[in-house]
Amino acid sequence: MQALLEKLTQIPGPSGAEHLVRSAVQQEIEGFADAMYTDALGNLLARKGRRTDGGLRVMVAAHLDEIGVIVTHVDENGFVRFAPLGGVSPRYAPGGRVRFLNGVGGVIGLERTEDRTSAPPLEKMFIDVGAGKRSDCPVAVGDVAVFERPFEQLGGRWISKAMDDRVGVALLIEALKRLGDTPHEVYFVFSAQEEVGVRGATTAAFGVEPDLGLAVDVTMTGDTPKGVTMEVALGKGPAVKVKDRGMIADPRVVRWMTRTAERSGIPYQREILEYGSTDGRAIQLSRAGTPTGVLSIPCRYVHSPSEMVDAGDVKQALDLLLALLSAPIELGD
């Protein structure tokens, strides 16, 4: 998992430009899926298994894209103005290095402000790509970039840009490879444009028309000094989402997930996230509605260039995902 995750996090894939990550995933799962295709929005869908008596069509989704920036203007001196692709925080941006898909690097600078106590909005920032004038600038309006940070192991934790949601993508790849006999028809969906409005999962869920949906994504933690107030912490196992800003997980799915974890001896946490949502929202609202839950990987410093996960949590999330997909699913009432 570590080698795969390092490979995936270092590939640039901002929203709307996920093709390099998608190609890497295709190479990883070639030969393990019964069918595989890319749809019109750029989602990669891989089907494994056929429904037997009592089996379901299950959609499991993790998003390919990461937060990034897009060029909106280049001034006469070659400085680049930009807009966010997804939830780019002004707190993390100043001094950050970015890498455009054409290979050009840059550093984010600030306009001078009177207030030195808080980060200015992104509109007061620019990217310096080393150009002296507009005609020398190696990027143009519409070019996109991602933050540049290497993958590192810190004790039992892994840190990198784009853990959100390459850790989910890695889990789906490994689950697809390792899933043996299953009564279900499972669609592993590597979705596009989650960070800008769960767009890929919206179209994918409409096409798959699943009986049950499961998103795999990161969630925030409440275990840092004076951090957000929530129960989730690194090193205590994967989290089963109960609610976030965009969805209330189906209580039947929550019970199925927690009971499976308990029967399998897998530690888990219950998650209520007051900020943000996942592909689970799109699956839940597809067509006439789909029972949907979310398997969350605790992650510190979400939407920063240095997101941290615990190696044990990742392994246990894979164990739980395989347990969920391998056995008959009884949701009850």
Say how many C-beta atoms besides its own lie within 10 A of residue 97's C-beta: 14
Beta strands in 1-120 (DSSP E): 35-38, 44-48, 57-63, 68-74, 80-85, 97-100, 105-110
| Measured distance CA(87)–CA(89) in Å, rounded | 6
Question: What is the DSSP track for 260-303?
Answer: HHHHHT---EEEE-SS---HHHHHHTSTT---EEEEEEE-BSTT
CA 194 remoteness from chain centre? 8
Q: What is the largest CA-CA distance in the chain?
A: 68
User: What residue spans of the chain are helical by DSSP H?
Assistant: 2-9, 19-29, 163-178, 199-208, 251-264, 279-284, 311-326
- Give me the domains of the chain, ranges plus CATH numbers: 2-66+161-326 (3.40.630.10), 69-147 (2.40.30.40)
Say how many C-beta atoms besides its own lie within 10 A of residue 54's C-beta: 10
- Helix 163-178 to helix 2-9 angle (10° resolution) is 130
Residue in 323, 329, 314 with CA at minimum distance from that of residue 169 = 314
Burial of 45 (0-12, 13-18, 19+ CB in 10 A): buried
Q: How far apart are the first and last CA of the chain?
A: 37
pLDDT at position 201? 98
pLDDT at position 326? 95
Full-model pTM? 0.95
| Measured distance CA(179)–CA(205) in Å, rounded | 21
pLDDT at position 119? 81
CA 331 remoteness from chain centre? 26
pLDDT at position 30? 95
**What does each C-alpha distance from 57 to 1, 120, 227, 238 come to in angstroms?**
27, 47, 39, 24
Q: What is the pLDDT of residues 314-327, one digit of tens each?
A: 999 999 999 999 99
| Measured distance CA(33)–CA(201) in Å, rounded | 19
pLDDT at position 332? 78
pLDDT at position 117? 75
Q: Show the tokens assigned to 172.
A: 């789906």
Would you name the residues annotated as active-site residues? 194
pLDDT means per 10 residues, the chain with 333 residues, are 97 98 97 96 96 93 98 97 96 95 96 80 96 96 96 97 97 97 96 97 98 98 93 97 97 97 98 95 97 98 96 98 95 80
